[in-house]
Chain A
Amino acid sequence: MPSVSSLLRLSVVVAGAALALSFPMLAPNPYILSAGVVVASYAVLSTSWNFVGGFTGYISLGHGAYVGLGAYGTGLLIIKAGLPSFAALLLSAALVAALAVPIGIASLRVRGASFVIVSISLVLILLLIFQSWASFTGGSNGLVVPRPFPGLRRPDHHLVFFYLFCALLAVALLSWWVIDRSRFGMGLKAIREDEDKAQSLGTPTFAFKLLAFVASATFTALGGGLYALWFGDLDPVFQFSILTGAYMVLMALLGGVRHLFGPLLGALVVGSALEYFKVEYGSTQLHLVATGLLLAAVVLFMPDGVIPALSDVYNRLFRPRATSIREATAAELRSQEEVRG
């Protein structure tokens, strides 16, 4: 028999999903719908990022690389190999997964500073390659990805892709949830808390890290490929952008990397804010300023995200005499201690 709390949890998730799925009906105009597609794509990307960031604690600023590879892979497979759009999307993600193995092997060997340097460098080098190799990638002229559903009016095009992004998001969330509850997930979290101890206790840390890394890159590539099919115009400068990776980190950190819905929540907040800034302050660079300030604030004041920070405040205000017997994981306990400390 499921407990009351898990029933409640389930109903909340269902309500959230229903609200998300009815969004196209609520959107007053096609522009809002297109903004919804962008936010949904951010949610996919930040959730994908969290496979490596959340489970292992390795912070990659270079996930923009997999977005770009997924997008260009999809576009090039359609144009050069003549594959149908969605076959190209899947094959492209598979190729990125294969590519992520050597990249993962090279970059996961080094911890800390070097890992971040490698992740950033990967974006920069791919940008150079995709700009320079113009005969294959289209270079700075960009690559035009054929529409998967030609003849669709633009608002309908947005509608279709909104649901596609939601479906991909659901798959990503489900995978994360499954891993979270598995032995594999426990091993990954051990790496996050103390890699050396985890290793000495027999966790195959390197293989686990690599697996999480490849899963993360694959989902990111799917998100990037779907974006390519939706958006249609690829330019190396925007596909291989450090900013994309930074948004993913910001969204996941803001929402809370230890929680299933943390990155999704972060994507809703940051994604909506970014779109709002585009409309209100379109001609300025203020969205960069806001992103920078928010990222700095998160890093300095709530490195575990909004969820633990808020629940901590809630606990202090409304549950002053919380008993010591409660249902909480070690990770949650620890995160609370860190927030307090």
Chain B
Amino acid sequence: MLTFQSVILGVLLGGLYALLAAGLTLYFGVMRVVMIAHSAFLILAAYLAWYFHRETGIDPLVSLVGTVPLFFVLGVAMQRLLISRLRAATLTMMSVLLTFAIALLIEGLLGYVFSGTQRRTQLSYSGTSLDFFGARVAVVKLIAFGLAAAALLGLYVLLKASRFGLALRATIQHREAAQLAGIDTNRVAGYGFGLGLATAAIGGTALALDTTIYPSLHWHWIGPLMAIIVVGGLGSVPGAAIAAMLLGLTQSLLQLPLGTTWAQTVFYVALFATLAFRPQGFFGGRLAQRF
């Protein structure tokens, strides 16, 4: 029974990981950028949702209407104004430092504006749960998972079925060839960044429903997320999603015998094992060999 409960919790958590890792994969795909600030934006979105709820009393989910477009625009602006300024030769290293700086900036500003105090959204349905074949599934976790799943599905459809998705995938696979085929890869890269950041907005709102947030929380997310994208194969969205589900589930199951903290090491063990035995990742990612 307890195991089943953990499987449920693991799947719910894995869904959120999958969405966030998909965003991180997009940046890497279009620009070869490891976006350290991804989880800082996640926490920023969570704060915006919490603040929106506290000030207006309206359900925090409504804040998505504002944060998703805002983050999309921010993402495009970040790629066009900052990332594209870096020298191509040192892009990977310098972009890590640059996005790291942005993460610090966001953490510092959140701390300055909202203080380091832990915050939790108080919803009327915070404590309610549903019975699912004997396991208890908290309503808030279910909503968060639904949100993540819907966003991931939307992203998948966009990538697979639209012209823009085609251009984006072409850019990820071979930038020069895409340019030759008449794709404005700079613009596509900008939109790719915007989409990635929009996933952080959705993920953050989902996070705000059920978790306590504080400014430095993003460090607890970026490690697992980076591990997921390496295990999944840098640049592969489905790979990231599968790795996210598997690792989320493993983490949740390991919590029973090992406890919360030790269970988290599963991400790093998987990361080191991947780099040692199969640096290109387990679920795709032709790109990865060289990075």
Contacts and interface: CB of A to CB of B under 8 A. Distances in A.
B96 interface: yes
A131 interface: yes
Interface in A60-119: 61, 106-107, 109-114, 116-118
Q: Is the interface of B mostly helix, strand, loop or mixed?
A: helix
Interface string B82-118: 1001110010111011101111111111111000100
B276 to A, nearest CB: 6
Contacts of B222: 120
B4 interface: no
A288 B92 contact: no
B86 A299 contact: yes
A295 B101 contact: yes
B105 to A, nearest CB: 3
A292 B93 contact: no
Nearest to B279: A110
Nearest to A119: B96
Interface in A107-153: 107, 109-114, 116-118, 120-121, 124-125, 128-129, 131-132
A125 B268 contact: yes
Interface string A189-224: 000000000000000000000000000000000000
A113 B97 contact: no
B226 A288 contact: no
Contacts, number: 136
Nearest to A288: B108
Interface stretch (A26-34, A35-43, A279-287, A316-324): A279-287
B96 A288 contact: no
Given A288-B104, A289-B109, A293-B105, A118 B98 contact: no
Contact of A116 (B28, B93, B234): B93
A90 to B, nearest CB: 29
26 contacts: A61-B100, A110-B279, A110-B291, A111-B291, A112-B92, A112-B291, A113-B34, A113-B92, A113-B234, A113-B291, A114-B275, A117-B226, A117-B230, A118-B271, A121-B223, A125-B268, A132-B259, A285-B108, A285-B215, A290-B108, A291-B101, A291-B108, A292-B104, A293-B105, A295-B98, A299-B101
Nearest to A126: B268
Contact of A118 (B109, B111, B259, B275): B275
A299 B107 contact: no
B105 A303 contact: no
Contacts of A292: 101-108
Q: Is the interface of A mostly helix, strand, loop or mixed?
A: helix
A282 to B, nearest CB: 13
A296 interface: yes
A288 to B, nearest CB: 3
Interface size range on A against B: 35 or more
A211 B86 CA distance: 30
A262 to B, nearest CB: 16
A231 B275 CA distance: 36
A300 interface: yes
A288 B107 contact: yes
Interface of B: 28, 32, 34, 36, 82, 85-87, 90, 92-94, 96-98, 100-112, 116, 215, 219, 222-223, 226-227, 230, 234, 259, 261-262, 264-265, 268, 271-272, 275-276, 279, 291
B111 A285 contact: yes
Contacts of B272: 106, 118, 121
Instruction: List the 3 closest A-B pairs by CB distance, nearest first.
Output: A285-B111, A288-B108, A292-B105
A246 B100 contact: yes
B101 A296 contact: yes
Contacts of B259: 132
B223 A59 contact: no
B191 to A, nearest CB: 22
Given A59-B96, A131-B261, A286-B112, A124 B105 contact: no
Contact of B97 (A111, A293, A299): A299
Contacts of A169: none
A242 interface: yes
A59 B93 contact: yes
Nearest to A139: B261
Contacts of B279: 109-110, 114
Contact of B227 (A111, A121, A284, A338): A121
A234 interface: no
A201 to B, nearest CB: 19
Nearest to A122: B268
Contacts of B36: 120
A116 B34 CA distance: 9
A265 interface: no
